[in-house]
Amino acid sequence: MTFGEHILDLRDFIAASPSSFHAAHESGRRLALAGFTQLTEDEAWPTHGKFFVIRDGAIIAWVVPEAATATTGFNILGAHTDSPSFKLKPKPTTGRFGWLQAGVEVYGGPLLNSWLDRELQLAGRLVDVDGTETLVATGPLLRFPQLAIHLDRSANDGLKLDRQAHMNPIWGQGNPADEDLLGLLAGKAGVQAENIGGYDIMVADTAPGQVFGANNEFFASGRMDNLTSVHAGVVALIAAASGGANNKEGAQGPVIPVLAAFDHEEIGSGSRSGACGPILEDILVRISDSLGASVSDRRRAFANSLCISADAGHAVHPNYSERHDPANHPVLNGGPLLKINANQRYATDAVGAAVWAKLCAAAGAPYQEFVSNNDVPCGSTIGPLTATRLGIRTLDVGTPLLSMHSARELCGVADPHNLARIAETFFSSAV
């Protein structure tokens, strides 16, 4: 797959993934088409082969080669399926003055102003009282309308949005007492509204991803933080499992490649499907058990393992260069980032950095280093969480973006493809 083909495939992946639940489903659909078998957590699992498990909005996929033993290490690519947005509240049908509005709660840390005046959709899952889950996506339905400049002459001097008062999207006209937003969602999903026992419904942009620029060097889309990494992991795992160019047993023996796409990273990862939860450890333990590993064997396998935490990172902004480190200025299309932080907000250490350099050289892909300005502390990722929870050496990398946490983010067309190439090399070799 060329970088041009990859970016268009990423566009289609994002369009099919307006919520974390859709992203897990779309990843599973692609893996199943490539010969992976979906397993459920309440059944006995086979030992060798290509498998995946979906838990809520997370997906874990792996390949156990025939040569794997009780001490074979895991090469894990970690990512996350969620993005900053808004989540539908209980009693969501609101409104006044003839407007129908939706009650939503801010999810994570979105750039609020970037969501104004866009055609948005509701997407996620509905759960019947019998436990049946149904995915739903409405298509264009909502909009956060901005106040006209005539009614706020100071708006261009610094727009301030109140999360409760101003972030209530409109979705129609009528009397809220006579309308039912959940009923609309049920109709879209083909289920009975009265049978809905619960729901996890997010707001997502409906505009398709777009390649643009003087030489078609840019790509803009919603949810690239962090569907660029999830997509790269799916593409790479399929390629590695199907005998891609780099699919060779490493010099130190076989590896078990694992894609771990968690949910809830944007709100701290504290859930049963998040990186702070047990999902990855649950699955690694079960893989290890199927290979006949003792507790000691499993610890040896973890000592032979590596996790690459792949999340979005910041490219240097031409209009705000003072917000970046003076010496490190990552650019779009310059290669994926190796993310470094002295306070371990990123998990990269010197050993991990050396491994990353080796992987990039083997894949023939460039990379760049990222470090924050001392006065602008960085966020964190699943990397330190995974390293702390499992004791597996972890490093942090990611695709450089502008407008991170905007409703519509910006990357270079070559960087997601290079991340996938490096991930395929990683999945196919012992490092």
- CATH at 47: 3.40.630.10
Is residue 194 packed enough to be buried (19+ CB in 10 Å), middle (13-18) or exposed (0-12)? Answer: exposed
The predicted structure's pLDDT at residue 431: 77
Q: Does a structural domain hold residue 95?
A: yes
What number of CA atoms fall less than 13 Å from residue 168's CA on the CB side? 15
The predicted structure's pLDDT at residue 245: 37
The predicted structure's pLDDT at residue 48: 95
Q: Do 290 and 359 fall into the same domain?
A: yes
- Which parts of the chain sit beneath pLDDT 70? 244-253
Domain boundary, last residue among 176, 205, 234 = 205
Q: Do 68 and 168 fall into the same domain?
A: no
Q: Do 118 and 183 fall into the same domain?
A: yes
Q: Do 362 and 248 fall into the same domain?
A: yes
CA–CA dist 57, 346 (Å, integer) = 24
Q: What residues contact residue 51 under an 8 Å CB cut-off, 6+ apart?
A: 36, 37, 38, 39, 45, 61, 62, 63, 64
Q: Do 62 and 93 fall into the same domain?
A: no
> Which residues on neighbouring strands pair with residue 372, listed in sequence order?
324
Element (H, E) at 388: helix 382-390
For residue 151, what is the domain's CATH number?
2.30.250.10
Q: Do 144 and 291 fall into the same domain?
A: no
Q: Do 186 and 310 fall into the same domain?
A: no
Q: Does a structural domain hold residue 293?
A: yes
Q: Do 331 and 192 fall into the same domain?
A: no
Q: Do 66 and 191 fall into the same domain?
A: no
Q: Does a structural domain hold residue 215?
A: no
Q: Do 179 and 36 fall into the same domain?
A: no
Q: Does a structural domain hold residue 249?
A: yes
Eight-state DSSP code of residue 151: G
Domain count, the chain: 2
Q: Does a structural domain hold residue 22?
A: yes
The predicted structure's pLDDT at residue 244: 46
Cα–Cα distances (Å) from 139 to 15, 128, 136, in that order, read 11, 22, 9
Q: Which two tokens stand for residue 53?
A: 């498990």
| Structural domain boundaries enclosing 120 | 85-205
Q: Does a structural domain hold residue 229?
A: yes
Domain boundary, last residue among 179, 205, 231 = 205
**Count of Cβ atoms closer than 10 Å to residue 150 Cβ:** 7
Domain boundary, last residue among 155, 178, 205 = 205
Q: Do 404 and 268 fall into the same domain?
A: yes
Q: Does a structural domain hold residue 212?
A: no
Q: Do 350 and 370 fall into the same domain?
A: yes
The predicted structure's pLDDT at residue 252: 57
Q: Does a structural domain hold residue 210?
A: no
CA–CA dist 195, 177 (Å, integer) = 20
The predicted structure's pLDDT at residue 251: 46
